[in-house]
Structure 1
Amino acid sequence: MEFPPYTKTYHTTPYPAISPTRPSLSTAGKVVLITGGGTGIGPKIANAFAASGATQISILGRTASSLLSTKTDLEAKHPGLKVLTFVADITSQSAVTHAFESTAKAFGPVDILIGNAGLMPDAAPLASTDLDQWMTGFDVNVKGNLILYQAFLAHSSPSPTLVHVSTAAAMFPSVPGGLSSYAVSKLAASKMTDYFAAENPRVRVMTVHPGVPDTRMNQKGRDAGIVLPFDDVELSANFIVWIVSPEAEFLKGKFIWSNWDVDDMIAKKEELVSSNQLTQGLLGWP
C-alpha cells in the first residue's frame, strides 16, 4: 500500500525541524498529561516533552509496572523532571477524574493533553465477529476519549491544547483483515473530537496520525494482514511536540500526519487556514 503524499517530503525518521530541543518548540512551564503513557509511543512522547523543557508530566496507563518503569527512566534522563503516574483505564470516569484532579493539585491546571490511549480489538470479519468484542473499540476509543475530554475541560488552563492521536485507517477505504472495529471507532472518535473543538473554541485541538511506529498495536495489525513499513517511533513523538508549538497554531482543527514535512505545511499556511483541507467531510461535495 502506498500513501498519497500531502507534502513534497514524506518522513519516516526524525529531522531537525521537529527536534524538541529547538528553543522555539520549548514547553517549559507547561503541565502535560499523556494517556497511554506507559507503553507504545507514550513513553517516547513523554521523553520528547521532557527534552523540550517540560518538567511536570503526568502519564496514565493500565499497567503500574510499565508506568513506573517509564517514570524512572524519564526522571533519570531529565534532572528536575517530575512525573506523576496514574493507573487508569480511560473508560473509568472515576480513575480519569482522579488523575486530572491530582495533577491539577500537584502541578496546576493542565496545559497540554495528549490523548494517546486506544484499543485495537481482535481482528474478525463483521459476519462472525463477537458483538461485545467488536464494541470494545467504541468503549475505549469513543467513550474513553469523551470521559477524557470532560475531565480535561474541568481541569485545564485558560488556553489549553489537545492532541488526539488517531490513525489514517479511519480515513482510508475499507481493506480486508477484520479490523473494522478499530477503523470505525477511530473514525467516530475523530468526528467526536471535531465536535469537541467546535463546542470549545478556547481549546486548540488537532488530530494526528502518528505514522506506523513499531508498537504492539501495529504488530497486531500486521498479524491481521495489514503490512506496512515501520516508521521511527521518535518521528511521531517529536512531531507531537512541534504540533503544540506556536509554529503549528495555524493547524488548529486539522487532521495531520506526523510523516508530513512541517516546512512544506508552513508553506501551505494561507491555503490551509482559508480552506477545509485536512478536515473530515464528504468527498466530491462542496
Structure 2
Amino acid sequence: MTTFDLSGKVAIVTGASRGIGEAIAQHFAQAGAKVVVCARKLESLQTVADSINQAGGMALAMACHTGKREQVQAVVAQTLAEWGRIDIVVNNAATNPHFGPLLNSDAAQWDKTYEVNVKGYFWLIQAAAEAMQNQGGGSIINVASVAGLQPATAMGIYSISKAAVIAMTKQLAQELGPSNIRVNALAPGLIKTKFSSALWDNEDLNQKIVAGTPLGRIGTVDEVAAAALYLASDAAAFTTGTVMTMDGGSLVGGILG
C-alpha cells in the first residue's frame, strides 16, 4: 500500500547492529527510506548497512554511544550534511546491567541504564526535532517495553526506565504535535533477540513465559519492525502519543509479574 511507502524519507535508527533495530532498519529501507544505522561498534553496523545497500537500499553506518550527548548531536549533524533532512527517528538502543531484586542494585547500574535508556532517547529527539520542525513534521518512535507497563520480575531498573520512556513519549507528543511531529512508543513483549536471550534461552523460564502468553509463543523482530513501519508511515498520520504493544497477549496473560 502506498500509505506505507517511505520513499524520499530519511530515518535514524539506534541500536541497529542487530535484533529489533536491525530489523526496523531493513524494513524501512525496503519501504524506500534512506537509513542511518547507529550503535556503538562500527564493524557490526557496517555489515547491516552493506546488506541494505547490496539489496538496493541506501544506508549509512555511524558509530554512536547514545548516552553521550555530543555523539548523538554529531550523528544528527552528519545525517543532515549527507541527506539534508530527518523524517524518522527510532530510539531503540538499550541496556540492562542489573538482574535481581531492585534493592540490591547500585548507583552505577542506575546511571548506566538511565544514560542509555532514557537520556539517550531524549538527546536524539532534542537534536533531531529542529530539523523536523523546519521541514514541517516527522515521526519519532521510542522502543519501550511491556515491562514499562507492568514491571518484570528481577528487572526493576529496566522496567522503571521503560516507564520513563513511555512518559517521555506522551509528554513530547503534546509538545511536538503542533509542529506535526508524531511521537509514539512500541512496547514489545519477549522477542527472540540476543538482548533477551537470558529469558528465552532458559528452557524452564521460556516454557513459563509461553504458557502465560495467549498466543502461545514469543515474538520475532520482524513483527516489531512491521509495527514500527506503520508508525513511521503516513498510515499513522493521525496517531501520536500512543503505546503500541506487541506481546502475544502477555499483559493480559499476567506472566510478566
SS of 1:216 mapped into structure 2: coil
Q: Residue in 2 aligned with 1:274?
A: none
Aligned counterpart for 2:10 among listed residues 31, 36, 46 = 31
**1:219 and 2:197 aligned:** yes
Aligned counterpart for 2:82 among listed residues 89, 93, 106 = 106
SS of 1:53 mapped into structure 2: coil
> Equivalences for 1:225-264 in 2 at 5 Å?
227=206, 228=209, 229-258=217-246
**Residue identity opposite 2:14 in structure 1:** T
Identity %: 26
Q: TM-score, normalised by structure 2?
A: 0.84
* Cα drift, residue 242 of structure 1: 1.5
**1:58 and 2:58 aligned:** no
* Cα drift, residue 50 of structure 1: 1.2
Aligned counterpart for 2:98 among listed residues 108, 122, 145 = 122
5+ residue gaps, structure 2: 210-216, 249-257
**Quick one: distance in 2 between partners of 1:214 and 1:175?**
17
Q: Residue in 1 aligned with 2:69?
A: 93
Q: Higher relative contact order at CA 8 Å, sep ≥6: structure 1 or structure 2?
A: 1
| Offset from partner CA, 1:73-130 (integer Å, 9 cap, x none) | 11111x2x22111110111111111111010111111001111111122302123222
Q: Residue in 2 aligned with 1:131?
A: 107
**1:75 and 2:53 aligned:** yes
**Residue identity opposite 2:36 in structure 1:** S
Q: TM-score, normalised by structure 1?
A: 0.76
Q: Is the 8 A contact 1:211 1:259 kept in 2?
A: yes
| Offset from partner CA, 1:158-208 (integer Å, 9 cap, x none) | 211101111011111x453x2101000110122122222222222111111
Q: Is the 8 A contact 2:183 2:241 kept in 1?
A: yes
Q: Is the 8 A contact 1:240 1:258 kept in 2?
A: no
**Quick one: distance in 2 between partners of 1:215 and 1:36?**
12
Which structure carries more helix by proportion?
2
Alignment CA distance shift 1:162-1:92 (3 Å): same
Residue-pair matches, total: 235
Moved more, 25-34 or 36-45: 36-45
| Offset from partner CA, 1:49-92 (integer Å, 9 cap, x none) | 111122x2111101111101101111111x2x221111101111
**Residue identity opposite 1:213 in structure 2:** I
> Equivalences for 1:152-231 in 2 at 5 Å?
152-156=128-132, 157-172=135-150, 174-176=151-153, 178-201=154-177, 202=179, 203-222=181-200, 227=206, 228=209, 229-231=217-219
**1:149 and 2:137 aligned:** no
* Cα drift, residue 259 of structure 1: 5.7
SS of 1:134 mapped into structure 2: helix
SS of 1:189 mapped into structure 2: helix
* Cα drift, residue 226 of structure 1: 6.0
Q: Residue in 2 aligned with 1:42?
A: 21
